[in-house]
Amino acid sequence: MTSPKLIGVRHLRSEGRRIPVLLFRNGRGSVAAQCLIFPGDMPILDGPSPEEVLAVLAGVIDDLLLARAPSAVRPT
């Protein structure tokens, strides 16, 4: 098994934050996007291309941040 190859870093903006997304090329040619939301919280999304995984993340980043926020920060 080979380690994935880092192919780029992009940033998404949400709630005044700039969120880094690391893009890796997987062994079979797909792309993994590792979204650095909080320290120790790095969800990964796989897809066929960097553009497609970034488009999906851009569409769900606000909800992802809300779902993964510490409970003290969540609205009631």
Residue corresponding to tokens 């709630």: 15
Judge whether 42 lies within some domain: yes
Look at the chain and report how many structural domains it folds into. Answer: 1
Judge whether 45 lies within some domain: yes
What is the tens place of the pLDDT at every residue in 18-29?
A: 999 999 998 888
Judge whether 25 lies within some domain: yes
Domain span at residue 36 reads 5-68
What H or E segment, with its residue span, contains residue 12? Answer: strand 5-14
Reading the block at residue 56, the tokens are 């999906």
- CA-nearest of 42, 40, 31 to 7 is 31
Reading the block at residue 44, the tokens are 């990964």
Q: Does the structure show a pLDDT above 80 at 74?
A: no
Judge whether 55 lies within some domain: yes
What is the tens place of the pLDDT at every residue in 30-73?
A: 999 999 988 888 999 999 999 999 999 999 999 888 888 776 45
Residue corresponding to tokens 């320290």: 39
Higher confidence at residue 71 or residue 76?
A: 71
Beta-carbon contacts of 41 under 8 Å, excluding residues fewer than 6 positions away, are 68
Amino acid at 20: P
